[in-house]
């Protein structure tokens, strides 16, 4: 009886172990996730807003997971290079994308021969958003949005306007601003916001859209000035900066947003574990204060909410294409 009982117990234990293993495999082996360092792709150069935010969160995720979360900057093509790397990676939760307008929406919708679609990501969580400002070299004549529009109309095509790359948030913001005002400027795309801002400060180009986060150091040192902010009301941290709306510019506002995405097909359990970890970071008083100091409105929430947000952003771009306000690259 003891032998039979012992063998029966062994078989039961084996069945339970196999069941647990099968369940873990069905969930993508999430019990120990992450099992190795996590790579977080940022589609722009170091120093830009998405890079700053990714590093802020990555440091706290490293502590939470007990595995390093490493930010990997792959600038170029408005974030599409990073987006392509992520879509071609295994959907095991160890390769993330800093989801923003460029790689997630405008890149695949407006870019030329972009090898993936808006739908080729699993959106995990929306980190937050920030209204974009227009910054310029201190010698640039316009002092506010109204003067900028008047100056641009008097000098068509002569203003050099930077961006983080074709299809990135600053480029899309420029397209929206041009659609709202009818101005003609010369677009100069860079491989990230940081090098574009550096060139404005050096006087090589004249202006661009930027987040407060990205431009902060240049603004503090007075190497750049702010022309206006694309929001419905003035920012608490920039009370003297006029909005586009109060300057008579209708539908010219834009914002930069940030999220976390995985390759399409990531297991639900991994998505939820990562979502919970990021939300925990976003709820910490220290992170909230730092992000608010950088002009970021913290969002957080569910994967479903993040997915809905990106779909809404994509629908807005598709509508602008349909109306002929913006055109995909040929």
Question: What is the DSSP secondary-structure string of 204-263?
Answer: SS-EEEE-HHHHHHHHHTTSSEEEEE-SSS--TT-TTSPBTGGGT-TT---EEEEEEEEE
Q: Looking at per-residue confidence, does 44 or 96 come out higher?
A: 96
Please provide residue 107's backbone torsions phi and psi, each rounded to the nearest 5 degrees. Answer: -60, -60
The pLDDT confidence band at residue 7, using thresholds 50, 70 and 90, is very low
Region 274-303: mean pLDDT is: 91
Helix (H) or strand (E) holding 187: strand 186-189
Q: Looking at per-residue confidence, does 1 or 206 come out higher?
A: 206
* pLDDT of the residue at 160: 98
Q: Alpha carbon of 193 to those of 28, 80, 164, 213: distances in Å?
A: 36, 14, 4, 11
* pLDDT of the residue at 76: 85
At residue 91, does pLDDT exceed 80? yes
Architecture of domain 38-129+257-322: 3-Layer(aba) Sandwich (3.40)
* pLDDT of the residue at 1: 39
At residue 148, does pLDDT exceed 90? yes
Cα 295 from chain centre: 14
Chain region(s) in the chain for CATH 3.40.190.150: 38-129+257-322
* pLDDT of the residue at 5: 42
Cβ contacts of residue 292 below 8 Å, gap of 6+?
298
At residue 17, does pLDDT exceed 60? no
The pLDDT confidence band at residue 30, using thresholds 50, 70 and 90, is low
User: Euclidean distance between the first and final Cα of the chain, in Å?
Assistant: 79
Q: Alpha carbon of 205 to those of 6, 136, 183, 186, 208: distances in Å?
A: 80, 9, 17, 10, 9
* pLDDT of the residue at 67: 97
Least confident range from 6-10, 29-33, 225-229: namely: 6-10
pLDDT one-digit tens code per residue, 155-165: 999 999 999 88
What pTM does this model have? 0.76
Region 206-229: mean pLDDT is: 95
Architecture of domain 133-247: 3-Layer(aba) Sandwich (3.40)
With 0-12 CB in 10 A as exposed, 13-18 as middle and 19+ as buried, what is 65? middle
Q: For the chain, give the percent of residues with pLDDT over 70.
A: 91
What mean pLDDT value characterizes the chain? Answer: 89
Chain region(s) in the chain for CATH 3.40.190.10: 133-247
* pLDDT of the residue at 22: 40
In contact, 100 and 258? CB cutoff 8 Å: yes
Cα 208 from chain centre: 17
Separation of alpha carbons 16 and 25, rounded Å: 14
Separation of alpha carbons 83 and 254, rounded Å: 22
Helix (H) or strand (E) holding 298: strand 297-298
The pLDDT confidence band at residue 209, using thresholds 50, 70 and 90, is very high
* pLDDT of the residue at 237: 80
In contact, 218 and 62? CB cutoff 8 Å: no
């Amino acid at each position: 009886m003891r032998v039979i009982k012992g063998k029966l117990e062994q078989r039961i234990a084996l069945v339970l172990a196999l069941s647990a293993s099968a369940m873990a495999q069905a969930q993508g082996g999430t019990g120990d996730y992450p099992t190795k360092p996590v790579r977080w792709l940022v589609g722009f150069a170091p120093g830009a807003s998405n890079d700053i935010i990714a590093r802020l969160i990555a440091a706290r995720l490293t502590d939470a997971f007990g595995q390093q979360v490493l930010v990997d900057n792959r600038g170029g093509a408005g974030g599409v290079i990073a987006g392509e790397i992520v879509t071609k990676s295994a959907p095991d939760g160890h390769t993330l994308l800093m989801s923003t307008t460029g790689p997630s929406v405008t890149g695949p919708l407006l870019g030329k021969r972009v090898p993936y679609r808006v739908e080729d990501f699993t959106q995990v969580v929306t980190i937050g958003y920030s209204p974009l400002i227009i910054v310029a070299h201190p010698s640039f004549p316009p002092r506010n949005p109204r003067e900028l529009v008047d100056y641009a109309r008097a000098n068509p095509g002569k203003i050099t306007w930077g961006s983080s790359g074709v299809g990135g948030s600053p480029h899309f913001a420029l397209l929206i601003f041009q659609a709202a005002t009818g101005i003609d400027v010369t677009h100069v795309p860079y491989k990230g916001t940081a090098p574009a801002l550096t060139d404005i400060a050096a006087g090589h180009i004249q202006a661009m859209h930027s987040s407060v986060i990205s431009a902060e150091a240049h603004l503090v040192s007075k190497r750049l000035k702010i022309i206006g902010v694309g929001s419905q009301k003035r920012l608490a941290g920039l009370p003297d900066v006029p909005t586009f709306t109060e300057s008579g510019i209708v539908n010219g506002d834009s914002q930069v947003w940030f999220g976390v995405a995985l390759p399409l097909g990531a297991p639900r359990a991994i998505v939820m574990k990562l979502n919970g970890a990021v939300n925990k970071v976003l709820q910490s008083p220290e992170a909230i204060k730092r992000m608010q100091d950088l002009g970021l409105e913290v969002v957080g929430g569910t994967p479903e909410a993040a997915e809905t947000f990106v779909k809404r952003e994509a629908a807005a771009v598709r509508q602008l294409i349909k109306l002929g306000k913006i055109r995909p690259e040929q």
